[in-house]
Each structure stands twice: as C-alpha cells, then as structure tokens.
Chain A
C-alpha cells in the first residue's frame, strides 16, 4: 500500500518503515494464574519468539516495564537461554508499550543490539491488584504523596476522574455516550475466545452498575487479570526472514506529557490529555493522519480514557468524543473499530501491550477469532461480527495504538501492513 505522505519530500522520514513487530506472544488472560510473574513472562516471551520464527539465540535485547510488581529481564533471559547485548527494566505502566518500541528501534539503529523483546508480566488480580486494593491501599503515605493519598485520592480511577468530570462539564458529554465504549468493546470480546469477559453488556447495564467514583460506574472500569504479554522488534530487513507478513512501524511517540507532571491539574485545560501534544509528533512521524487509520487501539483502563485519547489525537473534533465513541464508528463493521480484542475492559489488563498484539494480528489479517482455519493454516474470515463470530477488520492496512499512563502522559504508534 502506498502511504499518502511518500510524495511529500519536504518532511523528514525519521525511521519510517525501517522497523517491524515480527513476533507477538501472550499467556491466557486469567484470574488466579497459579504462577509467578517470572513464569508468566517466560511463557509470553517464548511464545513471541516462536511466533516470529526466531530462536532464543537470535534475540539479543530485552526491555520490560513494571511498577515494582514483576520480575526482571535477567530472569526471563536466563530462563530462555538468551544472552543479551542490552537489557533494561523501566518503571511505569500504560504509557510504556509504544515508548519501549521506540527505544528498541533506537537501540537497533545505534547498533547496540539486533532483535529486541519487550515484555510485561503481571499478576494484576492475584498479587499486586491494579485497581489499588490490597497491599498498596494500606502502604504508608509519605512526603509528596500527602497531597494526594492523604485525601483518599489514590487509585487510577480516583486520580483521573477530575479530568473525566471536567470533560462532561466543558463539552456536555453524556454518561450513556461514554458507556457505549464498554458495550462496543464487549461486543468485540464476544468474538475473542481469549477474552476474560466474553459476555456482551448493554449501555443500560453499564449505567445501572454501581458507582465507584463519579463519573465511573463499575463497568466503566477495566478488568484486573494475571497475564504475560510480549513483542519482538527487529529491522524491516530482518523481518523478511520471519514467519508472518511484515508489520512495519510507521512512527512512534513515547511518554509524551502535559506540563506540570508533579500535579498536571495545575495546567489546564484539564479536560485535554497528553494526546494533544503527542499527535504533533505521531502523525508527522508516521506520514499519515487520523483519517487514514483503519483500526485504533485507544487504551481503555476506563471508558473515558478511550474517548479522551481518540479526541485529542484528532479522530474527531475537540469536545465531540462522546458522539464519536457512540455513533458506531468504533464498532466492528464501523468506519474505524477500536480495541477489537475487547481491550482492557474485557480481554484482560496488561498495561497496553495486548492492544498492540491485537493490531499486529489485524494487520496480518489473522485475528485469532472463531473463524475456520483453511488449508493454508490461516483463518478464513467471514466478517460476520455477530456474537461468537469474526473480529477481523476488513482490508486492515493501517492502525494506531494510543497508550495512557494518566491524563498527563501518553505514548502512541502507527503500524502498517507491508
């Protein structure tokens, strides 16, 4: 496929199309994994290397991210017999996936290593609960945290809600518009045999679920699960020898922030998120715009998160996110489906990595739904999106992933089918 901006000789091409995601791997999305984060990470990385058609000895770089809740690259590399020329474990959550893909590209470009695995392993339900209950809720409140946790302002939902509320105030966004994100992602999950929550829920059911903290109902919040997930990044040249059609990286922006990250609410408008800044890097780097994208992976820790990012990355006008996520555009069969796996709201919570895995599979035209597998070993997609059916996006050529740490920080990536 020819990209619109290839004819534009005035803008720099950065590393456009020079790198690829060559392998993806995951464990089941579970509650009660019965294994360590080390075991989860090992399985996910092993599956990703096998998916790429590579051997452990082909991999010489490893990156991971965590929040003091997971194992380290040294253990995973050791368990799989990988000798690294570079490894690093960084602190952080949902804005890490695309950011680390960008770092992997830079590492390979700098000649520091050749093939990089990125993993996230977490027992987000059975060990360190990602919703903030358990051990984290009773930790002492120290120093700078006195300005937040001492007020019962600690969990992700509590921390982000002033942004969500102000969006409703500024733009008249309605609860039922935002609830459509959960309803639509649940439709997608019903066509994903791996999803932790496969049952479809309606907008009315979201609105009838109990309030956690306004404006969030229980069903506006994502699922907590245990899982390992992994990606393999290599040069576009190296990708030619790998197992699947190439998924080329068009452009990346990583850990892009609003001002005053010490407390981002100091710098408004607080109903605007980091995507406003990130889009100025993402789209020029990728040489395409939002109108060119076939499927999105907008982070859905909360229904509002999906809406805010789609809006601030420019998929609709500012303030019209509520209409955009509820008018059918983001549904399978719509103009630009979002989180076709069911995302964090339904498939499982991985701090963003499973949404990149999903879009890689979409670009391979090989979404792992229930469609029959043909003689060539590939699924024969029906494009019948009824419950239990297909979830492959028709003619999926170009995707955008948008990761989120909080309203003040995000990362994003555009990928294309070769």
Chain B
C-alpha cells in the first residue's frame, strides 16, 4: 500500500511499486531496524536496493540489525534550505558507521546509516546536545514516528556506551 504523510510539514510519499522502501520503513515504524541480507553472499546492505551490490543477486531477506555505531562524518546545518528545517537549526546530519559489518567486505566499506541527531523520542536535538557530538561519538538508533507504516530512523547519544574523551568537531567554533 502506498504511503502519503507529512513530517515537519514536508510531504513524504512512497508509492506501492516501491516494495523495498515500503518494507524498510515498515520495520522502522515498528521500532525494529531491519536491513536486506543477500540470500547468496549473506552481506547486509543500506540503503535499500533491488539487488546485491556485491554479487548481483536480486533475492534478499529482511533481518533485524543491531543499530549502534559511531559517527563517521557529519555536517552541522546553520542555514536550512527546506522550510521544514528552518526552525530546527542548527541541526546535525550524521553519517554513522554501524558496528555490524564494519570494514566488510573491504577495509573502507561500512553500513553508513544517515540520520539527524535526535532526542530519545525522535524529535530533533536541541543546540546543547548538538554541540556534544562529533566524529567518533557513540550513538544508538531511535525513531521519528510519522504515520502507520512509516518512521524515520534517527540517532541519539548512547549514554550507556564509552564515549571518546573528545569527539572530533569542526575546528572553528
């Protein structure tokens, strides 16, 4: 079933032919992160694709994945482009290395899952929390609920994890 919804006043939609994205976001809506695993080479992949980027096999299973990791890189947006984000600046866009499958199948590959920095309830993080996060910060996944069948995976600081003494942040603060 196609999904149409609004998130921060942005119209979002997934059409009913897009079975890969429908499945991905349905699992997120259940707050249970899943990725496609290739039935041949068993590698996980992100974001959803229609075949395996490593062995071209079109068949995959959706499997639960532990959604914890560390910031690989980020940007901190001060001048929002989309009107929906203007009242949320500064906000972080995070590229996060999952612990699962990091460095596989080759050294510089990882499941790098994008998200904003959010509070545990999935709302965008306030500025004082934004300032605590940089490359290396340990994060865990949370979800922004949008509508039945659709939630966006997001990231929040993993307070139970051992954090780096000083995560790397842009030097001109």
Contact = CB atoms under 8 A, between A and B. Distances in A.
Given A140-B13, A211-B78, A213-B78, A152 B91 contact: yes
A166 B72 contact: yes
Interface string A254-269: 0000011011011111
A144 B14 CA distance: 8
Contact of A266 (B11, B80, B110, B116): B110
A168 B109 contact: no
A84 interface: no
A163 B115 CA distance: 16
Contact of B21 (A143, A149, A214): A143
In this complex, the member of A132, A175, A263, A266 whose beta carbon has the largest number of chain B beta carbons within 10 angstroms is: A266
Nearest to A268: B108
Contacts of B152: 146, 150-151
Nearest to B146: A150
A203 interface: no
Interface residues of A, number: 48
A146 B170 CA distance: 27
A97 B93 CA distance: 31
Contacts of B10: 140-141, 149-150
B115 A168 contact: no
Interface string B1-42: 000000100111111001001000100000000000000000
A265 B95 contact: yes
A67 interface: no
B57 interface: no
A108 interface: no
Contact of B25 (A133, A146, A175): A146
B81 to A, nearest CB: 4
Contacts of B80: 152
Interface stretch (B45-53, B60-68, B156-164): B45-53
B73 interface: yes
B101 to A, nearest CB: 11
B125 to A, nearest CB: 13
B73 to A, nearest CB: 4
B79 A270 contact: no
Given A143-B21, A158-B93, A213-B75, A165 B81 contact: no
B14 A162 contact: no
A154 B73 contact: no
A162 B82 CA distance: 19
Nearest to A156: B81
B170 A263 contact: no
A140 B15 CA distance: 12
B93 A144 contact: no
B32 to A, nearest CB: 18
Contacts of A269: 108
Contacts, number: 144
Q: Is the interface of A mostly helix, strand, loop or mixed?
A: mixed
A143 B78 CA distance: 26
A148 interface: yes
Contact of A141 (B11, B53, B168, B171): B11
Contact of A146 (B21, B74, B93, B111): B21
Contacts of A388: none
B78 A270 contact: no
Contacts of A215: 75, 170, 172
A163 B77 contact: no
A265 B149 CA distance: 27
B75 A266 contact: no
A154 B82 CA distance: 8
Contacts of B73: 162-163, 165-166, 169, 265, 270
B114 A142 contact: no
A155 interface: yes
Interface in A107-146: 131-133, 137-138, 140-144, 146
A234 B46 CA distance: 45
B144 to A, nearest CB: 9
B77 A213 contact: yes
Contacts of A263: 46-47, 112, 114
B129 interface: no
Contacts of B135: 165-166, 169
B56 interface: no
Contacts of B110: 266, 268
Contacts of B83: 137-138
A308 to B, nearest CB: 14
Contact of B93 (A143, A152, A169, A268): A152
Given A143-B15, A266-B112, 8 more contacts: A141-B12, A147-B47, A161-B75, A165-B74, A166-B73, A214-B76, A266-B110, A268-B108
Interface of A: 131-133, 137-138, 140-144, 146-155, 158, 161-163, 165-166, 168-169, 174-175, 207, 210-215, 218, 259-260, 262-263, 265-270
28 contacts: A133-B81, A137-B81, A140-B11, A141-B12, A143-B15, A146-B12, A149-B10, A150-B7, A152-B85, A152-B88, A152-B91, A153-B93, A158-B81, A161-B75, A161-B93, A162-B72, A162-B74, A162-B75, A165-B74, A165-B170, A166-B135, A168-B170, A169-B135, A218-B79, A262-B47, A262-B49, A262-B53, A266-B110
Q: Which 4 A-B pairs have the closest CB atoms?
A: A268-B108, A161-B75, A162-B73, A152-B85
Interface of B: 7, 10-15, 18, 21, 25, 46-47, 49, 53, 72-85, 88, 91, 93, 95, 108-112, 114-116, 135, 152, 168, 170-172
